[in-house]
Structure 1
Amino acid sequence: MHIVEITTPAQAREFLEFPVRLYRKDPNYIRPLNQDVEAVFDPGKNKLFQKGECTRWLLLDEQNRTIGRVAAFYNRETAFPPETDVPASSKIDAFRGAGAMGFFECLDDLAAATMLFDTCREWLAQRGLTMMDGPVNFGDRDRWWGLVTENFGSPIYGANYNPPYYEKLFRNYGFETFYRQISYYRTVNEQLRPAVLARAERIVKDTRYHFRHMRKRKWARYAEDLRTIYNKAWVKHSGVKPMTSETARKMMRSMLDILDERIIWFGYYDGEPVAFYINLPEINEIIRHLNGKLGWWQKIRFKYYQWRGTVETMFGVVFGVVPEHQRKGVEAALVYATAQLVQKPGAVPYKQTVMNWIGDFNPKMMAVAELVGGRPWRTHETLRYLFDRTREFQRHPVID
């Protein structure tokens, strides 16, 4: 076996094609869009190249056949924060020295997996990193993040997928659980528990609160409302920076072709945005028919499947409430308001909701997901490997 760093277009293409062969007999596998994977490794499209470094490799056997692939990367801002930016006991310190690896695919072969992990570790260590997290993304946590360890069914859009034996490969090398990522499930027609429903109705009847779904033609306005809520609700979390208006508009604009305004909801208090519940159609139910491509013909097919109502799953991307309105029933009121529309017979094609993963370091949000009827559905895990094997391992700090 030997490792080859990817430097040519042909090797980059093989990086995309190897998983297709690896999973050819797996009915649950859904090939990601080529453009989504390629964008991660394109310095012109991935802004993290301005803050870090990334490379990737293929693992070949004696006949030069691909038997594995992997990428390694790091973000200077999180791995090497200035000492003045990290107060004592700061959660940011949990990421000091942390590099990462991801896009791991491999045969069920411990020696092959070890060579891939060794290559990542050595590359990161040469750059001053002291640990590696994986399998994760060289980008935001909403894509390609974590190892599936429970429920190996078809992945939702942008999620990692892997066979059960991958956990053995990671554990054998010495990776440990840094945090667990729980995705939740509920049927669209499921009713809220009586106590929760009472809280939701009380909030909805309060004339200072108002809940409405997005209007696509006013998308820029809703992008700004999203930014306002996000910056109040998330900036206190470790490693999270305020969202700019430009970023919010870019994110909203990128969703316009696929979003369904009926399942994106906002809550307001005295006219000020205080909460959002962002759902999108689970487009992997369409992407599974496109074989990784999204050219003009695939776009026509995509629109056709949308028109037919092929997508039966809503994907809960993110749920946010500003701190001063948390634990008052606003979370339940948002779900209640959404249900008033989506539960009308024939109003929407969706039958179930899958809520995006919540880390077990965030027990408050896990409680909210269960409060509104969510049941644990799938588990991913973000694993960590310490280069100094005598160092004490610590889990991700719990968010207060």
Structure 2
Amino acid sequence: MQLQIVDNAASRKLFHKVPHLIYKGDKNWAPPLEGMIEDTFTPSKNPSFKNGEAIRWVLIGDRGELLGRIAAFINYDKANTFEQPTGSCGFFECVDEQQAANMLFDAAREWLKERGMEAMDGPVNFGENYVNWGLLVDGFMPQGFGMPYNPKYYQKLFETYGFQMYFKQFSYHLDTTLPELPERFWKVAEWVSKKPQFKFEHFSWDKAEKYIDDFVQVYDNAWRFHEHYKPLDKDDLRDFLKSAKPILEPEFIWFAYHEDEPIALFVMLPDLNQILIEMKGKLNFWGILKFLWLKKRKKMTRTRSLIIGIVPKYQRSGVDAAIFWHLRPVMYRKNWYKEMELSWAGDFNPKIVALYESVGGKHTKTHYTMRYLFDRSKPFQRAPIINAEKVSDKK
């Protein structure tokens, strides 16, 4: 077996070919757009390169067959917020052979180690965590856009190498066609939404920069207390809005205000995977026409929440319920959307888990973010739970 660095058009083509071999015949897998993957590894299009670097490999067998791929990357702003400087690996795909997986993991580990890293997280994204983050371990069904899908045997490949579960990510599904959701929740939501000191409004393109500023203010105030907090880069948001514009529904992005100060946000997108699954990862001229045709025919019937954030001072105020109160008539009006995926509820954040359960969400999928310590003698510690003293153990 031989590792080849991805550094030209031919090797990039091999990198994108690997998953099509791994998932051949798997109807649950939606091929990601190759252009979106390439943007991740293009310094001019990924703000993570401002203070970071990345590399990719493909693994080729003795007979010239493709066996796997992996990427390694470091965001130095984040890496040094951990006890051990921590880099990452991602975009991992591999045949069911531990030796092949080990070669890929070894390549990523050695590259990170040479750059001063002492641990490796994976499989994760070189960028924000709302896409391409985590290893699917339960709920092998079609995933919401940006939520990773992988064969069941990947967990064995990671754990046999020595990765351990750093935290869990839960996804909840909500059937939006049900006539009534938990009544107590909606009563609280209506009561809060009508308080004069609170205001709720959805995103609009003509005020995009204002909402970017509001998003950053909420995000920074909501996550500043977290042990590994890193301020949000506005360029990340601008890139997200630009890339998501073809599918973004302004009424799926909500902000809450107290006395005109932004205090909460909620972002949801139509599930692009329902279209990508028919496009084979390509977006050429005919692919664009097919995309527009499928969108017009309302092929996307699911949505996926990307993030909900509330400034700590208001986390018990009921503004989260009030946001859903304002979202509910939107979902009734756009009734071709039948299902909502409330995703990325980290087990370290029990408040979000409780919110998704209180609105009627059913736990359907679990992803793991894994960590590998280079010094195998060091004790492994899981991600700290927020407000741990108030949380019972969640299995």
Shorter-chain TM-score above 0.5: yes
- Which letter does structure 2 place at the counterpart of 1:40? T
What residue is the counterpart of 1:366 in the other structure? Answer: 353
- What CA deviation, in whole Å up to 9, does each residue of 1:352-396 have, x standing for no partner? 100121211111211122122222121110111111111101001
Kindly tell me: are residues 268 and 125 of structure 1, through their superposed partners in 2, closer, same or farther at Cα, counting changes over 3 Å?
closer
> 1:387 is matched with which residue?
374
**Residue in structure 1 matched with residue 88 of structure 2 by the alignment:** 100
1:93 CA displacement: 3.0
Match of 1:85 in 2: none
Within 5 Å, give how 1:61-140 maps onto structure 2: 61-79=61-79, 81=80, 92-94=81-83, 96-140=84-128
Give the conservation status (yes or no) of the 8 Å contact 2:144–2:303: no
CA 1:274–1:78 in structure 2 vs 1: closer, same or farther (change >3 Å)?
Answer: closer
Aligned 1:321-336 pairs, distance under 5 A: 321-336=310-325
Instruction: Tell me the CA shift for residue 246 of structure 1.
Output: 5.4
Pair 269,186 (structure 1): closer, same or farther in 2 beyond 3 Å = same
Q: Which moved more, 1:127-136 or 1:27-36?
A: 127-136
The 3-state SS of whatever aligns with 1:29 is coil
User: How far apart, in 2, do the equivalents of 1:199 and 1:244 lie?
Assistant: 34
Aligned equivalents of 1:21, 1:52: Cα separation in 2: 30
Q: Which amino acid aligns with 1:61?
A: G
Deviation, structure 1 residue 3: 1.7
Q: Which residue of 1 aligns with 2:290?
A: 301
Aligned identity (percent) is 38
Contact 2:255 2:266 (8 Å CA) reproduced: yes
Instruction: Pick one of 331, 335, 352 that aligns with 1:348.
Output: 335
1:88 alignment partner in structure 2: none
Aligned to 1:86: none
Question: What letter matches 1:175 in structure 2?
Answer: F
2:391 aligned partner:
none
Task: Tell me the CA shift for residue 29 of structure 1.
Answer: 1.3
Q: Does 1:185 align with 2:173?
A: yes
- Distance across 2 between alignment mates of 1:293 and 1:38: 12
In structure 2, relative to structure 1, the CA distance for the partners of 1:253 and 1:26 (3 Å cut) is closer
* Residue of 326, 339, 342 corresponding to 1:337: 326
Q: 2:363 aligns with which of 364, 376, 395?
A: 376
Alignment of 1:223 with 2:220, yes or no, is no
Whole-Å separation in 1 of the counterparts to 2:236 and 2:103: 39
Residues 78 and 64 of structure 1: is their aligned pair in 2 closer, same or farther, counting only changes over 3 Å? same
- Cα 1:330–1:189 shift into 2, 3 Å: farther
Distance 1:244 1:17, change over 3 A: closer
Secondary structure of the residue aligned to 1:361 is: coil
Q: TM-score, normalization: structure 1? A: 0.90
User: Are residue 169 (structure 1) and residue 152 (structure 2) matched?
Assistant: no
- Deviation string, structure 1 residues 129-163 (Cα, Å, up to 9, x no partner): 21111111122111111110001112222222110
Does the aligned pair in 2 maintain the 1:178–1:383 contact within 8 Å? yes
Aligned to 1:41: 41
Closer/same/farther in 2, CA of residues 192 and 268 from structure 1, 3 Å limit: farther
Distance 1:101 1:71 in 2: 5
Measure the CA separation in 2 of the matches of 1:108 and 1:242: 39
Q: RMSD of the alignment, in Å? A: 1.9
User: Any conservation in 2 of the 1:224–1:248 contact (CA below 8 Å)?
Assistant: no
**Structure 1 residues 293 and 200: alpha-carbon distance in aligned structure 2, compared to 1, 3 A threshold:** same
Conservation of the 8 A alpha-carbon contact between 2:218 and 2:309: yes
Question: Could you tell me which amino acid in structure 2 is paired with residue 286 of structure 1?
Answer: I
How far apart, CA to CA, are the structure 2 residues paired with 1:47 and 1:399?
A: 28
Contact 1:277 1:320 in 2 (8 A): yes
Deviates more, 1:214-223 or 1:224-233: 214-223
SS at match of 2:35: helix
SS at match of 1:397: coil
Match of 1:316 among 305, 325, 330: 305
Gap regions ≥5 residues in structure 1: 82-91
Q: Provide, for residues 105-140 of structure 1, a one-character-per-residue CA deviation record: whole Å limited to 9, x for no partner.
A: 111111111121122222222222211111111221
Pair 48,164 (structure 1): closer, same or farther in 2 beyond 3 Å: same
Q: Paired residues, what number?
A: 386
Which residue matches 1:291? Answer: 280
* Distance in 1 (alpha carbons) for counterparts of 2:14 and 2:183: 54
TM-score by length of 2: 0.91
Is 1:12 aligned to 2:1, yes or no? no
Structure 2, unaligned runs of 5 or more: 388-395
Give me the whole-angstrom Cα distance separating, in 2, the residues matched to 1:111 and 1:11.
22
Question: Counterpart amino acid of 1:99?
Answer: G
In 2 relative to 1, CA 123–220 (structure 1 residues): closer, same or farther, beyond 3 Å?
Answer: closer
Cα distance between partner residues in 2 of 1:242 and 1:53: 19
Name the amino acid aligned to 1:15. Answer: F
Residue identity in the other structure for 1:290: M
